[in-house]
Amino acid sequence: MERGVVYVATGEGCRQEAIRSAKTVKRHNPSIDIAIFTEMPEVDPVFDLTFLIEKPEFSAIDKVKNLWRTPFHKSIYIDADTIITGDLLPLFDLLDRVDFAGVHETARGFWYKEFQSEIPEAFGELNAGMMVFKATPAVIGLLKDWHGAYLETSKWLSRFGTDKWMLTNDQPAMRHLLYHRPEVKLWVLPTEYNALRHYGTYLWGKAIVVHGRGNIEAVAERMNRNPDLERGFFQGMGVIADFNRIPFRQVLETVLRVNACALLNVRDRMKNMVKRWFQKGQGKS
């Protein structure tokens, strides 16, 4: 098949998120086929194709192991915890010129740089929650090698934390593969194609793919309130735009929202300080 959107979703919770996301794809892009890889043989009619994962691990590893199986020549992979607010067709057009594209990761990979010291800091991570790729032999080979590269990075990932996200973080392995495969023609997309809720996003234009859990529909509405302005979105503070270019009412709302966020942060920090002092005092007694 020529082009389509791909989801990898195992577990009922993730699968329901994928259904919600896929419905927003169809709402704005009714001509695009959608495939899902999951452990269930039947999911929802919003998916045009369903592919079985026989031994799921119920983590990002399911994506790492199966994305190379895409049925499409041109694929847009999207994480389940997303909604789509506009046209995805330009991403397929881009694949007439490049082989692989994604939006840069906010953390860039700086936090583990000693373990990939051969890669320049200027070559940051791509966020693996939305990737666009063409099924060339080089790209399919890269995707097939993703799991092996992940097993290598997993040897040191645990040094940075023990939570499930850290231990299944697939992006350092993808960074390694992309840097060492110059035959894959790479492009970095504007952040509007993977607007992150939780880690800060710079926007200038409509956020097309909005990424994050919770009331993501409300987040998307706030992100896209002033689509013609340069602006930033930060969890808690919401959208921050140039005060000289937004109505006075929005200026006032922004000031109140930011100050409220700051006061809540101060309150929480003070509570934690008092708690630590109290616990320290009890230890001495």
pLDDT (tens digit, 9 = 90+) per residue, 244-269? Answer: 988 998 899 888 888 888 898 899 99
pLDDT at site 235: 82
CA–CA gap between residue 60 and residue 260 (Å, rounded):
36
* Average pLDDT value for residue range 84-90: 98
Instruction: Please give the order of strands across the beta sheet that includes 238-241.
Output: 201-204, 230-234, 238-241
The answer to whether the pTM exceeds 0.75 is yes
CA 273 to chain CA centroid, Å, is 34
Residue 237: per-residue pLDDT: 83
Residue partners of 144: CB distance under 8 A and separation at least 6: 68
- pLDDT, residue 283, reads 65
Q: Is the pLDDT of residue 285 over 60?
A: no
pLDDT of amino acid 262: 87
Whether the per-residue pLDDT at 273 is higher than 70: the answer is yes
Both tokens of 133, joined, read 């790729």
Confidence (pLDDT) at 114 = 93
CATH class of segment(s) 3-189: alpha beta
- What are the boundaries of each domain within the chain? 3-189, 197-284
The maximal CA–CA distance of the chain, rounded, in angstroms, is 72
Q: What was the pLDDT predicted at 168? A: 76
33-38: strand order across its sheet: 49-52, 33-38, 3-8, 74-78, 126-134, 100-104, 186-188
Q: Report H helices in 5-88.
A: 12-28, 61-66
What residues contact 120, with CB distance under 8 A and at least 6 apart?
A: none
Of 102-106, 135-139, 260-264, where does the model show the most confidence? 135-139
Tell me which of 159 and 36 has the higher pLDDT: 36
Per-residue pLDDT averaged across 223-238, rounded? 90
- pLDDT surpasses 90 at 100: yes
Dump pLDDT digits (tens) for 25-66.
Answer: 999 999 999 999 999 998 999 999 999 999 999 999 999 999
Output the pLDDT for position 280: 81
Helix 137-157 with 171-179: angle, nearest 10 deg: 130
CB burial of residue 192 (10 Å; 0-12, 13-18, 19+):
buried
Better pLDDT: 164 or 181: 181
Instruction: Report how many helices (DSSP H) and strands (DSSP E) the chain contains, helices first.
Output: 8, 13
Place of tokens 């994305």: 67
pLDDT of amino acid 158: 86
Q: DSSP assignment, residue 68? A: G
**pLDDT averaged over every residue in the chain:** 93
Confidence of residue 111 (pLDDT cuts 50, 70, 90): confident
Q: Is the pLDDT of residue 284 over 70?
A: no
When pLDDT is averaged across residues 142-155 and rounded to a whole number, the result is: 96
pLDDT of residue 202: 93
pLDDT over threshold 80, residue 144 = yes
Torsion, Cα of 144, 147, 148, 154 (10° steps)? 160
CB-CB contact of 57 with 43 (8 Å): no
**Interatomic CA distance for residues 285 and 276, integer angstroms:** 14
Q: Which residues pair with 4 in a beta bridge?
A: 33, 75
